[in-house]
Amino acid sequence: MFVPAHITGFFSIHIDREVLKTGSKGAGITLNRGVKIEVKEGRGRIYYNNKKVDICPVKKLLPENFDLFLTSPFPLASGLGMSGASALGVAKLFYNNFLEKAHTSEVLCGTGLGDVIAQYVKGFVIRLKPGLPFKVLKINVDKYVVVDVLGKMETREIIKDNIKKERINRVGERCLNELLKKPTIENFMKLSYRFALETGLMDDEIKEMCKTVKNSSQSMLGKTFFCVVDRDEIKEVCSILNDPIICKVIN
Ligand SMILES: Nc1ncnc2c1ncn2[C@@H]1O[C@H](COP(=O)(O)OP(=O)(O)O)[C@@H](O)[C@H]1O
Ligand SMILES: CC(C)(COP(=O)(O)O)[C@@H](O)C(=O)O
């Protein structure tokens, strides 16, 4: 079982009394790299790249008589939707209503708001309303994405902070309105960079990297640089990055 990574460029947070209706609006891209999911009979243990871990949304979904083995080129908490991908993958294996189960577990754990929906839809995904049933604009793009993970950021700490949430929502709503006027991947990247700066979430090191690479920003919510490039730009971009991972948008 494979579930794609998802990079959110910008978003706004929408909490509803009903968990299913809780989620985010915003935009992001799904990648041809993500999480490989395998299960064996066991005792409810979760392994991520062979290391025993506790991933809240996955724990809520994994039956106690199975062990779960997750493999990914991306670390957890790097803003690439690894928690959402892991939850969606496990839900697909054990539940008919897998989308609702995965979305609900992410929301209840505070580890995600819209990743699961984007990872289900794939492509360049503009989320027009929070939660389920989803309402999205899906755009297929033929682009490469180069990712450079510089560190970690715990999603839960950010989306549960009311001061940060206010800034995220004010800037995120504005970015969505702007993107809908011109729904191109280039405009998405420009607005993602603006979002990272104006919310104060932009890491200084990533800000410097973005000055040298066009169509680049920081993945939300993580300390991860990403840029959208054409094939003939890959070599030059990789030459200035620390540990580049080359992906493609998966449609
Ligand atoms: N070594 C680890 N580093 C970061 N998160 C971890 C680790 N082990 C388990 N976790 C859990 O993984 C989940 C990461 O979720 P999140 O911050 O949304 O990351 P992502 O951006 O990859 O989706 C959290 O539930 C966190 O507690
Ligand atoms: C941005 C975020 C709230 C978190 O994403 P991640 O850190 O990758 O779990 C995402 O779920 C979204 O709603 O767009």
Q: What CATH number is associated with residue 188? A: 3.30.70.890
Asked whether residue 97 falls in the same domain as residue 183, the answer is no
Report pLDDT for 8. 98
| Domain match, 210 and 243 both | yes
Q: What are φ and ψ of residue 117, in 5° steps?
A: -65, -45
Q: Identify whether residues 21 and 129 lie together within a single domain.
A: yes
**Nearest ligand to residue 74 Cα:** 1
- The residue whose CA is least distant from atom 12 of ligand 1 is 55
Rounded-to-integer distance, Cα 92 and Cα 98, Å: 5
Residues flanking ligand 1, CB < 6 Å? 53-56, 76-84, 109, 111-112, 152, 154-155, 222
Distance CA(242)–CA(23), nearest Å, equals 33
pLDDT at 55: 98
Residues 130 and 39 grouped into a single domain: yes
Same domain membership, residue 9 and residue 125:
yes
- What number of residues does the chain have? 251
Can you give the pLDDT of all 251 residues of the chain as single tens digits? 999 999 999 999 999 999 999 999 999 999 999 999 999 999 999 999 999 999 999 999 999 999 999 999 999 999 999 999 999 999 999 999 999 999 999 999 999 999 999 999 999 999 999 999 999 999 999 999 999 999 999 899 999 999 999 999 999 999 999 999 999 999 999 999 999 999 999 999 999 999 999 999 999 999 999 999 999 999 999 999 999 999 999 99
Burial of residue 133 (number of CB atoms within 10 Å: 0-12, 13-18, 19+) = exposed
- The alpha carbon of 41 and the centre of ligand 2 are apart by a number of angstroms equal to 31
**Structure-derived torsion over alpha carbons of residues 61, 5, 22, 196, reported in degrees to the nearest 10:** 140
In this structure, the answer to whether residues 15 and 133 fall within a common structural domain is yes
* pLDDT for residue 40: 98
Quote the ligand 2 centre to 232 CA distance (angstroms).
30
SS3 8: strand
Q: Are residues 7 and 38 in the same domain?
A: yes
Count of domains observed in the chain:
2
CATH code: domain of residue 37: 3.30.230.10
Full domain range(s) for residue 125 = 2-138
Q: Whose CA is nearest to atom 18 of ligand 1?
A: 111
ipTM above 0.90, yes or no: yes
How many Å lie between the centroid of ligand 2 and the Cα of residue 249? 17
Q: What is the pLDDT of residue 236?
A: 97
Beta-ladder partners of 151: 223
